[in-house]
């Protein structure tokens, strides 16, 4: 049986898991603990050590877990191997763990704490479970479930606070899991908690009667809107949704400086599927809006190109924003025009105008008056700096890792890689 790191090479280089599990454990530990070895070898060795780490070598591996200079993915693999070791708990609880920069390590720390039954982790797990990112949410929910299984849900709740939205969200999930009525959480002041509550109402036979009764008693207009939204999702009753909207005076989020034509385009494009923290008024406005007028994107681009050509601006062929960025996609096309102003990797760069796919909207970062005049004459609404900088409050849209309100220009001319 191989007993040295060198003897491991054939198996570890193929990441032959059965062969690695058959190797001498001490040699596998030496490879996993050696920072000079490639990270992928060390991870394979850590995985192959499950259930068979020699006790006298545990401190060596724990040292690698604690070493912030070591490779993050290796530390995570070793933490999953040794996370149940009670001597590791003080390190896991250290406040500096929250600022660990290695991707995935904070979640791995929380997994280990939950696995050890550490009730002090409940708050951080609830924060994790409230995350919009699926992986973090799964870690948080699994960790809270592990704590509840060991200590009881009441003990977990005792570690949480009504002051924090993420803690109230846990209480809502637990209430639903226990068969309780969560319609009362539709009045939560945090939209993401109310959104969670309505998403848990999934049984038409049980929840539709509850929601209809709640509509008559809801303590706030927002709670009534959430109830109407959930009812619409369960029943498809558009007339009922419009009736609630009318009864409340057609509430909407007023955005100073937002042109009605632009608002209509944004409602159809984003409000129906906006992110959880969004104001419910946007969602109901989308449900009650008339059907969108189809946008003839190709026709718009032909019209814009012809207008620029007629103005002597020498437009090039339109390209999608994804092609212009060489990756991703979005809601606009780019028309380069005029003379080149520079070069990128040997290719000439041209000034460009953006034409939205959401309607007859155009913008030019250079604010070229000739371009603006040509496109306005062709029927486009020009989105200048002032109009483009209007922030659309309460409408949260995903953009580069964040879910928050964006400005008009970012929404009409949206690109995501």
Q: Do 257 and 345 lie in a common domain?
A: no
Q: Count the domains in the chain.
A: 3
pLDDT digits (tens, 9 = 90+) for 377-415: 999 999 999 999 999 999 999 999 999 999 999 999 999
Q: Do 223 and 356 lie in a common domain?
A: no
In the prediction, which pLDDT does 383 show?
98
> Which residues lie below 8 Å from residue 312, measured CB to CB, with a gap of 6+?
none
CA distance 283 to 235: 16
pTM of the model: 0.87
Q: Is residue 119 part of a domain?
A: yes
Q: Do 31 and 118 lie in a common domain?
A: yes
Q: Do 147 and 43 lie in a common domain?
A: yes
Q: Which of 228, 259, 288 is the last residue of a domain?
A: 288
Residues of the domain holding 130: 5-157
Strands (E), 180-331: 319-320, 329-330
Structure token pair of residue 18: 């059965």
Q: Do 138 and 192 lie in a common domain?
A: no
pLDDT digits (tens, 9 = 90+) for 226-279: 999 999 999 999 999 999 999 999 999 999 999 999 999 999 999 999 999 999
Q: Do 281 and 334 lie in a common domain?
A: no
CA distance 98 to 117: 18
Q: Do 109 and 202 lie in a common domain?
A: no
Q: Do 261 and 361 lie in a common domain?
A: no
Q: Do 130 and 265 lie in a common domain?
A: no
Q: Is residue 263 part of a domain?
A: yes
Q: Is residue 168 part of a domain?
A: no
In the prediction, which pLDDT does 101 show?
82
Q: Is residue 40 part of a domain?
A: yes
Q: Which of 157, 192, 225 is the last residue of a domain?
A: 157
Structure token pair of residue 417: 């890689």
Q: Is residue 350 part of a domain?
A: yes
Structure token pair of residue 350: 């041209």
Q: Is residue 163 part of a domain?
A: no
Q: Which of 221, 253, 288 is the last residue of a domain?
A: 288
pLDDT, the chain, mean: 93
Q: Do 317 and 395 lie in a common domain?
A: yes
Helix (H, G, I), strand (E, B) or coil at 34: coil
Low-confidence ranges of the chain (pLDDT < 50): 1-2
Q: Is residue 111 part of a domain?
A: yes
Q: Do 280 and 357 lie in a common domain?
A: no
> Which residues lie below 8 Å from residue 251, measured CB to CB, with a gap of 6+?
221, 225, 245, 281, 284
Q: Is residue 169 part of a domain?
A: no
Q: Do 126 and 208 lie in a common domain?
A: no
């Amino acid at each position: 049986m191989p007993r040295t790191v060198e003897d491991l090479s054939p198996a570890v280089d193929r990441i032959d898991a059965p062969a690695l599990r058959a190797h001498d454990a001490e040699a596998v530990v030496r490879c996993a603990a050696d920072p000079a070895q490639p990270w992928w070898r060390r991870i394979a060795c850590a995985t192959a050590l499950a259930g068979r780490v020699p006790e006298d070598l545990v401190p060596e591996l724990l040292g690698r877990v604690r070493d912030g200079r070591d490779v993050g993915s290796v530390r995570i693999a070793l933490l999953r191997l040794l996370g149940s070791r009670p001597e590791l708990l003080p390190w896991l609880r250290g406040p500096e763990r929250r600022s660990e920069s290695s991707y995935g390590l904070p979640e791995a720390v929380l997994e280990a704490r939950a696995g050890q039954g550490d009730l002090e982790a409940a708050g951080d797990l609830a924060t994790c479970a409230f995350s919009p990112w699926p992986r973090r949410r799964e870690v948080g929910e699994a960790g809270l479930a592990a704590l509840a299984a060991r200590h009881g849900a009441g003990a977990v709740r005792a570690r949480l606070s009504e002051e924090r939205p993420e803690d109230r969200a846990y209480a809502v999930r637990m209430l639903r899991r226990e068969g309780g009525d969560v319609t009362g959480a539709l009045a939560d002041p945090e939209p993401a908690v109310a959104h969670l509550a309505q998403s848990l109402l999934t049984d038409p036979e049980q929840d539709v009667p509850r929601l209809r009764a709640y509509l008559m008693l809801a303590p706030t207009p927002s709670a009534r809107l959430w109830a109407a939204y959930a009812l619409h999702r369960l029943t498809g009753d558009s007339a009922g949704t419009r009736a609630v909207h009318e009864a409340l005076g057609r509430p909407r989020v007023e955005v100073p400086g937002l042109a009605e034509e632009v608002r209509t385009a944004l409602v159809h494009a984003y409000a129906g599927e906006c992110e959880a923290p969004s104001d419910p008024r946007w969602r109901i406005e989308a449900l009650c809006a008339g059907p969108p007028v189809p946008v003839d994107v190709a026709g718009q681009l032909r019209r814009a190109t012809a207008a620029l050509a007629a103005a002597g601006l020498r437009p090039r062929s339109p390209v999608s924003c994804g092609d212009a960025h060489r990756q991703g996609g979005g809601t606009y096309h780019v028309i380069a025009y005029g003379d080149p102003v520079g070069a990128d990797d040997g290719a000439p760069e041209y000034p460009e105008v953006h034409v939205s796919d959401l309607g007859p909207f155009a913008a030019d970062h250079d604010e070229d008056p000739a371009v603006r005049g040509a496109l306005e004459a062709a029927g486009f609404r020009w989105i200048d700096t002032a109009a483009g900088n209007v922030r659309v409050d309460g409408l949260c849209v995903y953009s580069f890792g964040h879910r928050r309100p964006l400005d008009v220009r970012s929404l009409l001319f949206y690109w995501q890689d």
